[in-house]
Amino acid sequence: MREQIVDKAAQLFLTLGFKSVTMDDIAQHMGISKKTIYVHFENKTKLIEAVTFEIFGRICEGIDGICNTANNPIEQLYDIKMFVMHHLKNEKSSPQYQLKKYYPQIYEALKMKQFEKMHESVKESLQRGVDTGLFRQNIDVDFISRMYFNGMTGIKDNTIFPQSIFTMDYLMESYLEYHLRAIVTEQGLNVLNKFIISNQS
C-alpha cells in the first residue's frame, strides 16, 4: 500500500503541484481513507519527502540506462533531456519551484543528491566526448560539469525565466545547444548540427 500511495501522490504532485494537493485529494483519488495514508506517513511533509526521492531514484535509473546505450555523448545529453521532461510531465506545475518555496529542507537535500549524480555522470560523458574527439581536448571536465549543473538549475528559476515567456522544453533545448556549442570540436559540431536537423519537428 505504501508504494501505491507514493505512486498516486507522485502523479498528483507533478500534475497539480506540491502545495495544491492535500492528503484528502490523494485519499479520494485512491478510494481509501485518509487514516490509511497516515498509517504509512506521519504527515504530508514525510509523504512529499518519500515521493521526491522515489522520483529521483527512478530518474537516476533511467539516466544510467541512457548512459550505457547512447551512441555518443551529444545524443546522450539530448536523450536524458527527453527522458527527464517526460518523467516530470514537462514541469507545468513548477514542482521544483514549489518544493523550494514550501519545503526548503527537502529541496536542499534533493539538490545535493542531484548535484552528486549529475556531476559524476556529466564528467564521464564529457571525458568520453574528449576521448572520441567530439569535445575539445583542453576543456576542464570538472569545471564544465559544475557549470552545466548550475545552468540546468538556473533555467528553472521562474523569476529569471518566467513560464509566461519560456516553456521548460525551450529552455532545456536552448541551454543544451548553448552548452554543447561551447565545447565541441569541428567533428562534434557536425554531429550536433546533424542531430539538431534530424530532430526538428
Residue type, 71: N
Domain ranges in the chain?
44-199
| φ and ψ of 88, to 5 deg | -95, 15
Please name which of 82, 80, 89 lies closest in space to residue 61, comparing C-alpha atoms.
80
C-alpha cell at 120: 559524476
User: How does pLDDT run across 69-112, given as a tens digit for each residue?
Assistant: 999 999 999 998 888 887 775 555 567 778 888 999 999 999 99
CATH of domain 44-199: 1.10.357.10
Rg (CA), the chain: 19
Question: Helix or strand or coil: residue 111?
Answer: helix
User: How does pLDDT run across 130-189, given as a tens digit for each residue?
Assistant: 999 999 999 999 999 999 999 998 998 888 999 899 988 899 999 999 999 999 999 999
Residues in the chain: 201
pTM of the model: 0.83
Cross-strand partners of 184:
135
